[in-house]
Amino acid sequence: MTEAKKATARRNAKDTIFADLFSIPKYLLQLFQALHPEMTDVKENDLKILTLTHVLFNRTYNDMGILVKNKLIILIEAQSTWSINILIRVLLYLASTYHDYIHDNGKIVYSSTKLEIPEPEFYIIYTGDKKIEKDFISLREDFFENPNAKLDLTARVIHVENKDDIIGQYIIFCHVFDEQRKIHGYSKATIENTIRICQNSNVLREYLESRKKEVIDIMFTLFSQEYATEAYGREQKIQGVVETCRKLGSSIENAINMVSESLGLSKDTAAGYVKEFWENNTEGGTTL
């Protein structure tokens, strides 16, 4: 059996660390205070988490909508992989969020009376290693050649480590996690070291101490998802090499050499993968 078939994620674990952390009211308030330190009158019960409708595709979600005193909608995406296309997703989320808000509040969009809707704000929390030059991105600047384009949406990009607020601490946590994964791979050591380093550095310390089991469960689930995805991609590449060698009448030895070089695997490891596909997909195939 191949590794992609062995590695399966538990279907009932859907939350990420981001979603779990900010589902807790006091941390959600700290998130808001990091974005709006001047709004000191906002309390925990003034914040409502909005369920965003995911209109594009199924994936692990790191996005959040917050309704503040029925006057402000904040849409946030936390991303470890950078893509300017995130602005398009935010635009679609905004339309969906307004649709739900209007429906839930019994408003009629076709009414002649002007609707009162909350003002929107957009934030991208970026935790990857790509250097980000801009603190703001916009549809008008990054998508449209016309500087006078009638449609625009501007999002603030937060990407700097900062122990003084919970967003900056979350970014530190993600960076520590990535560093440990480079050293220890998809292992228990990566998870335990990440939690220990962050606790000792006073990064999300209270959260990690109070919800250590939940954090470990979430991270193991993410490991399973990412590992399965990587293993599936490797399988597809190996299968492609095997099929190409079959069509060209090449030998299994050539296939092993190609897989070893292209995927950076040892000859023995590559041979194990190739032989499985060769035996399953080749009738009377060449042997070593």
Q: How far is CA 258 from the centre of its chain?
A: 32
Report pLDDT digits (tens) over 100-131. Answer: 999 999 988 998 999 999 999 999 999 998 99
By mean pLDDT, which of 52-56, 109-113, 130-134 is the weakest? 52-56
**For residue 12, which amino acid is it?**
N
Whether pLDDT at 61 is above 70: no
By mean pLDDT, which of 4-13, 65-74, 189-198, 249-258 is the weakest? 4-13
pLDDT given at position 20: 92
By mean pLDDT, which of 16-25, 120-129, 272-281 is the weakest? 272-281
Residue labelled with tokens 């939690």: 195
Smallest CA-to-CA distance from 93 within 64, 133, 135 is with 64
Whether pLDDT at 175 is above 90: yes
Rg (CA), the chain: 24
Whether pLDDT at 4 is above 50: no
Query: What tokens appear for 31 in the block?
Result: 């998130």
pLDDT given at position 16: 85
E strands, the chain, in order: 47-50, 63-68, 72-79, 119-126, 136-138, 154-158
Whether pLDDT at 150 is above 90: yes
**For residue 210, which amino acid is it?**
S
Bigger pLDDT: 185 or 3? 185
Contacts 24+ apart (CB under 8 A), 177-180: 177/219, 178/80, 178/127, 178/129
**Average pLDDT for residues 26-36, to the nearest whole number?**
98
Whether pLDDT at 217 is above 50: yes
